[in-house]
Amino acid sequence: MAAKQPLIISDKNQMRKWSSTMKSQGKTIGLVPTMGFLHEGHISLVREVHRHADVVAVSIYVNPGQFSPSEDLSTYPSDFDGDVRKLMAVPGGVDVVFHPHNLYNYGGTDTNKKSASVINNVAVLSCIEQKGIGHETWVRVENLEKGLCGKSRPIFFRGVATVVTKLFNIVEPDVAVFGKKDYQQWRIIQRMVRDLDFSIEVIGSAIIRDSDGLAMSSRNVRLSPEEREKALSINKSLLGAKSAAANGQMDCNKLRNLVIQAITEAGGRIDYAEIVDQQSLEAVESIEAPVVFCVAAWFGKVRLIDNMEIDL
């Protein structure tokens, strides 16, 4: 059977019209938001959304709002044609690829060039450079965004929540699937949907790993072979911590030290290693309810994140 060619839509009004047509036919819509450069982790999300919806949309949009001025947006990998081919190879295919050129106007003529100011020693984006031109509305999930990745990337989740809100308003999906590798992001979107009364089911899909255990990420291509080998310490140490917890070690400080030591000895630089409640994402001292062990670490110039749910 020939591969299914998805409809490519870049205009948001055309996207809305497609969704309206599908709903008028009684079909449910599933959405997988991505920033492109797809790998098997993304493809697993597409396979998952097929289980929950009649038609499937995948958005490919590199969101400038997630990047601070110190992060180079231009270096984010991209392969749109390759992404479409990968989506066509998924059983059942994809009905539409929503590939907007810009969803948030930061002002000026180049939406990828964001002006920055500094507040409390943190660089923040200026979303209006000329009065009446730029957008200025942001969506924030105030408490869930503070910890973990939010500590070192203080504007990241503001950018995520705002653009995902826009995608939800444009595509109007019935269900959306996010990867649990970005655990904090998944929980933030779940909370946002609940708080703002979106009629959308937000599903978290399991982490997909390479055969060596490294969590799949678009950033992995930037690792040297030596750095990749060292980065395996993340998953190995998390598995060790989960095993220790299963054997009765409930002291979170001791479990954290196991992971921090293993990653540091392998040559990684820890951003954070925290054991938090699965719902509130608040740090816990002892495991008495379902938790998730979240880690972010640098290997060379590449920052990797991973996590391990511990359900006892």
> What residue spans of the chain are helical by DSSP H?
12-24, 40-50, 80-88, 149-152, 156-171, 183-195, 225-246, 252-265
Judged on CB neighbours under 10 Å (0-12, 13-18, 19+), 19 is buried
Element (H, E) at 115: strand 115-119
Q: Catalytic residue among 39, 42, 99, 101, which?
A: 42
Distance, CA of 276 to CA of 281 (rounded, Å): 5
Tokens of 293: 């062990």
Q: Is 39 a catalytic residue?
A: no
3-class DSSP state of 42: helix
Instruction: Give residue 259's region: left, alpha or beta (phi > 0; psi -120 to 50).
Output: alpha
Q: What is the DSSP letter of 312?
A: -
Residues annotated as catalytic (active site), given as ranges: 42
